Structure 1
Amino acid sequence: MDTLVLFILLILLFIQWTAALAAEEITWTYTGLVGQSEWSDYFPDCGGTAQSPVDVITTQTKYDPSLSPVTPLGYSQHGNQPFTLYNNGHTVVTELPQWMGLGGLPWLFTAVQMHLHWGNGGSNHGGSEHTINGESTEAELHVVHYNSELYPNMSAAMTQKDGLAVLGIFIVTGEETNPAFDNILNYLSRIRHADQKAFIPAFDVQSLLPKDLGRYYRYNGSLTTPPCHQSVIWTLFHERVQISMAQLLKLETILYSSKAEEKDRMLLQENYRMTQPLNHRVMFTSFSAESGKELSSGEVTAIVIGVMCGCVGLAVIIRFIVKTIRFFKLLHLETVVVNSSTSSWDVLHNNRPTPMPRTKESEKEKEKKQDMALNSTSEAEKKEEPLPSPHNEP
């Protein structure tokens, strides 16, 4: 009896072992025979109830004031050792040194690798795995860490509920080039085909992250690729990172999901999983709804320009009002002066003595004046006559 039970157990273990080997050997894809809809047939965890990615519905999130800002540890201390860039046929992976870690979580997490997800530049404009209120961005960066406080390595941690912590960064396109992403994108031509690796110069990984690490969404989920273990503490940053259209074009057109020896080359595109049901999970936020409104760089620029124009307009209006007030003050003063001058003239004019009217002189007065004039003339003549000479006296 004991032998039979042991035999059955051995058979079950053998079946599980062969199934695991078969799963490891299965080449899954995002579309095709072993596409997303078939993942759960070969990888049971992919059909779980706590899968990722998800659509973040901001009106259904819950603010948690205890969520502290995420703290990158050693991200900028890249040292002199080069990084390894790897095309695994599903994405481009940058392996990270073990001294990089992540704080601000219940445990200490050690960095393992980071990778990207993107679209194909088509009309659907998809690319990111997570979405916000049903809207995706052009690409998404994932930085993967394992719980080094509880588990010895990535393999042991990835099957545990609290084993992994992944940072999700939304990537959008704009006019300016992002130099930080060139540390990866400029070397994609060295790993164009699946299974190719290349060494690249080490760089500051924190330069890839948004500046604001204090506002984010937090939920429990899974790996977004097979085997889809539900072991990830997700942190999705609210602030988005911008790259140029030329940089996105490199990401979408340089890499192949096929190997170099394969004749049929297949571009590595649309390597994002569709969003999964949130089910009964709670999406937490580290910021309140009032402070969480999304503002793009264009909106910020418009606000700044609007404020500047408003200030200029207000200054013009104030200047106009001041000038108008001064004008009316001067006009009032001039009116007062003119009225004052007119009033004084009228007063002086009225105080002038009224001129006496001229009357006709009487005849007697005229005769008196004539007699006086004749008398004056005769007296003058008398004075002018010469005195008589003594010789003429008789």
Structure 2
Amino acid sequence: MWEKVKLFDVCRPKQWKTISTKHLQTSGYPVYGANGKIGFYSEYTHVDPTLTITCRGATCGSIHITDPKSYINGNAMALDDLKSNTSIRFLYYYLKTRGFEDVISGSAQPQITREGLEKIEIPLPPILIQEKIAEILDKADELRRKDKDLRDKYDELAEAIFMDMFGDPVRNEKGWDVKTLKELCLKIGSGSTPSGGNESYKNEGISLIRSLNIHQNKFKYKDLAFIDDKQADKLKNVIVEADDILFNITGASVCRTTVVPSNVLPARVNQHVAILRFDKEHVAPFFAVRLLSNAIMNRHLYAIATQGGATREAITKEQLQKLEIIVPPIHLQEAFAKKNELINQLKAQTNAEKSEELFQSLLQKAFKYELTID
């Protein structure tokens, strides 16, 4: 077991003077705030790379390592005067794994204070072990970043092909036919959560797809829930079929959408996910999902979900039914779908999910004393 010490034993957390947004510049020394780099300034507060913790707002608890010669704004806590017996990257990975849920205070405006940080303890193996662990995690992090960047470029390519073929789907400058989802869908509907909530889920059985599984043009299998036949029978009005579009209708992930993968069937959806089942004679599923996830269309959908100053993002069934979308000739949709499928095949070869899982696994092992150090 490694020695445990107080965070304050290895550094001196401090908030520096905040630079107002109007004083930020387009060039100079990088300025770090609540969301990492936020601009530039003519002066810097820190010569060496420094670990920062976002201490206010929605991103409270996010951590960054600054570039050399940076200005650290007051919305981020700088861990100054880091002692020589502590590796900055080892501390970064440990705090990233630990999280700050137990030191964040305030509900309307989350914040982290110096007093809150005083309770944090960190494991402190010898510096050579810290550096070796950080080196292993750096390599895994680099791999996952490269895979993610490659996946993102494939998504950008698909988006560019869509825009080239069909143009802006909201302005419809190419003059395609326009119809409502009610006219184009054989089914629009969401389900419910079985009584008992999380406690009622099974280890196997029929998939229950929730909003956390739906990401933009991607299905995440982590935390996929399962229900038994009896529970599924109560949700027989939301049986998911092959090529159904899954669309998040409430919460922070509202408007995320993807095509259901065949390997999760049979499946049902809960109340936060809508099934959009298009009539394939008029709409190709992979055209539809790219249309709904298009950046311009997604902004349009989000505006609908938040109209009227709603405190919680949500799109109703009625709003979905009334949503108008472009309907190019089906042969063009299918031609795009073939190109999209090729891009998806290339994306699948990036191993982005595997490299993410590897990185997260190594993070957990590193601080459970399970990582082998040669």
- Relative to the length of structure 2, the TM-score reads 0.25
Decide which structure has the larger Cα Rg and report it. 1
Q: What is the TM-score of this pair, normalised by structure 1?
A: 0.24
> Which structure has more RCO (C-alpha within 8 Å, separation ≥ 6)?
1
